[in-house]
Amino acid sequence: MGIKKIALGSSGLKVSNLGLGCMGMSAFYGETDEAESLAAIALALELGVNFLDTAEIYGPFKNEILISKAIKGKREKFIVATKTGVEVDDDGNFKGVNGSPDYIKKAIDRSLKHLETDYVDLYYIHRIDPNIPVEETIGAMSDLVKIGKARYIGLSEASASTIRKAHSVHPVSALQTEYSLFERSIEENGILETVNELGIGFVAYSPLGRGFLSGEIRSLDDLAPDDWRRSNPRFQGENFKKNLEVVEEVKKLSEQKGVTPSQLALAWVLQKGYSAIPGTKRRKYLMENAGAAEIEFSEKELALIDNIFPPGVASGERYPPQQMSSLNV
């Protein structure tokens, strides 16, 4: 029990089962606070959480720069995962999905500069480019491993067939996809089956349903006016109301178990043997989330959870239409 190091698939990469999603420290989820974020990353390491998740597009670049400050002088203690494949120019303007070898090779140098390091532990393709064979994209990633700029490679939001093609070019260490009590579609579309078969590690992003499962978001007024979640169908109109009812069930179960709703949601992912990277910019939530690693469910409790939160339980798509169409699933 407790936070522990797990192998991400069979490639040799080891990470803490509870990771830290750093996105919200710099982007998408309202106000930011650099001092508190740096304190949270420092606390994470003390708690045994060494797996940091970022991407060039978070900020853009601001999140990688924040992480450079957090890891300075203790680089080797962290497993730093960043992502490319959604192009941003040097001024931070979004240009769309781009999996071309030229872009990948340019992007890693920019990420290394921002992170102030000479290697990334885990380099993900953030979105799959429909116009470029994934084998070409992965060929470029493989070259980065050969020259030591990346230690391991991963994919995010890739379909079962894309994962297979990618893995035939270079071993894929991790697949990162949304997974939580709210979002279980990978159990049904062959993705989990494929990663398990190929020995690829699984990293669950948004394991708290983008904060919904914590029970702290009761109305849209709880989100800043520019919070990205306001554009997420699950946070809109009737969907929001129905999803609050699902959250009530999480609350009831967590009360019975004597834990918090966030801890219950995270423990469910961890018990499956996956890594979960809940996002927070605060030490308070991080401490609470770390407690999830102490929780164990009996078979009976797991069956009850399956019954209450079957795949498809959340109302609404998990992204607005345009972003939904950029998922390779």
Ligand X SMILES: NC(=O)c1ccc[n+]([C@@H]2O[C@H](COP(=O)([O-])OP(=O)(O)OC[C@H]3O[C@@H](n4cnc5c(N)ncnc54)[C@H](OP(=O)(O)O)[C@@H]3O)[C@@H](O)[C@H]2O)c1
Pick from 27, 4, 25, 34: nearest CA to 16: 4
243 binds ligand X (CB under 6 A): no
Q: How far apart are CA 161 and CA 303, in angstroms?
A: 30
Annotated catalytic residue within 58, 103, 123, 179: 58
209 binds ligand X (CB under 6 A): yes
228 binds ligand X (CB under 6 A): no
Q: Is 123 a catalytic residue?
A: no
- Binding part of the chain for ligand X, among 64-72, 142-150, 233-241, 271-279 by CB under 6 A, reads 271-279
262 binds ligand X (CB under 6 A): yes
Residue with tokens 């690693």: 293
CB of 86 to ligand X, least distance (A): 9
Pick from 173, 96, 114, 185: nearest CA to 141: 173
206 binds ligand X (CB under 6 A): yes
Is the distance from CB of 311 to CB of 181 less than 8 angstroms?
A: no
289 binds ligand X (CB under 6 A): yes
280 binds ligand X (CB under 6 A): yes
CB of 266 to ligand X, least distance (A): 8
Is the distance from CB of 119 to CB of 151 less than 8 angstroms?
A: yes
CB atoms inside a 10 Å sphere around CB 176:
25
275 binds ligand X (CB under 6 A): no
Pick from 198, 194, 232, 226: nearest CA to 212: 232
In the numeric block, which tokens belong to residue 288? 């609470």
121 binds ligand X (CB under 6 A): no
Among 134, 157, 240, 315, interactor with ligand X by CB under 6 A: 157
Residue with tokens 């069956």: 303
Q: Which is nearer to ligand X, 26 or 117 (CB)?
A: 26
CB of 223 to ligand X, least distance (A): 9
In the numeric block, which tokens belong to residue 222? 């709880």
Pick from 163, 158, 202: nearest CA to 180: 202
51 binds ligand X (CB under 6 A): no
Q: Which is nearer to ligand X, 87 or 157 (CB)?
A: 157
Binding site for ligand X (CB under 6 A): 21-24, 29, 53, 126, 156-157, 176, 205-211, 214, 216, 262, 277-282, 285, 288-289
Tell me which residues are annotated as active site: 58
